[in-house]
Amino acid sequence: MSAILKIKGLQLAYGGIQAVKGIDLEIFEGELVTLIGANGAGKTTTMKAICGLKSCAAGDIEYRGESLRNVPAHELLKRGLAMVPEGRGIFARMTILENLRMGAYLRNDTSGIKQDIERMFAYFPRLQERTSQLAGTLSGGEQQMLAMARALLSRPKLLLLDEPSMGLSPLMVERIFEVVRDLSAQGLTILLVEQNARLALHAANRAYVMESGLISMSGDAKQMLGDPQ
């Protein structure tokens, strides 16, 4: 079985500082893989590189067997790669419904889009209660739900989640992770970057631990839960 995403010897620099120092990582179809580590370990920088928002100093990123090195960020959605960024990146001056429709802007199957919006409302009933509300007036947790729902409306083959639990209440975090586990159970391939290691390891199949720009450990997520390191 070939990997849907393969990172080989990836190096990334930020203003002369090497943030990522040559990492290898792979994800197979249908897996939920988590990349965990402390703040500043290089996790978000790695995510940005996958999405074409940060150029590689060395190494390569392959998605479905093809290099992403010279592929512009806006092309990736067409190829089935969607990201929920840290900080959510919702369209604050648009309504919830308009934000969701933006997620489906590459699609023209009107009835399919309508069905998917209904499915998102089943996941996140709070969004349904407020369809005409401006997204910028939502709470942090509601914005996270909206960012996830919007990404899912593109029907991605690989979903990248960057710190989905950041700044949310425990109740909201629980809901977000319920949805993540459900999506994974349905066969969606997910790469999850998360500071809350315990939560991420409980949800994931496999895990990579990142420290100071390097992968320090990798393996079965459930086994890592019991590892004192």
Band (142; pLDDT cuts 50, 70, 90)? very high
Q: What is the pLDDT of residues 7-52, one digit of tens each?
A: 999 999 988 889 999 999 999 999 999 999 988 899 999 999 999 8
Band (70; pLDDT cuts 50, 70, 90)? confident
pLDDT of residue 195: 87
Beta sheet of 3-14, edge-to-edge order: 17-28, 3-14, 58-63, 66-67
Rg of the chain over Cα atoms, rounded to whole angstroms, equals 17
Q: What is the mean pLDDT of residues 121-144?
A: 94
pLDDT of residue 121: 97
Q: Which domains does the chain have, with CATH numbers?
A: 30-53+73-225 (3.40.50.300)
Measured CA to CA, the distance from residue 103 to residue 112 in angstroms comes to 13
Band (1; pLDDT cuts 50, 70, 90)? confident
pLDDT of residue 134: 97
How confident is the prediction for the chain on average, in pLDDT? 94
State both tokens at 141.
């947790």
- How many CB atoms within 10 Å of residue 38? 12
Which residues does 58 contact at the CB level (< 8 Å), separation at least 6?
A: 9, 10, 11, 22
- How many CB atoms within 10 Å of residue 27? 22
pLDDT of residue 86: 85
pLDDT of residue 88: 79
Residue 12: exposure state from Cβ atoms within 10 A (0-12, 13-18, ≥19) = buried
pLDDT of residue 15: 80
CA 86 to chain centre: 9
DSSP state of 77: G
Which residues does 43 contact at the CB level (< 8 Å), separation at least 6?
A: 35, 36, 37, 162, 193, 210
Q: What is the pLDDT of residues 158-204, one digit of tens each?
A: 999 999 999 899 999 999 999 999 999 999 999 999 989 999 999 99
pLDDT of residue 105: 93
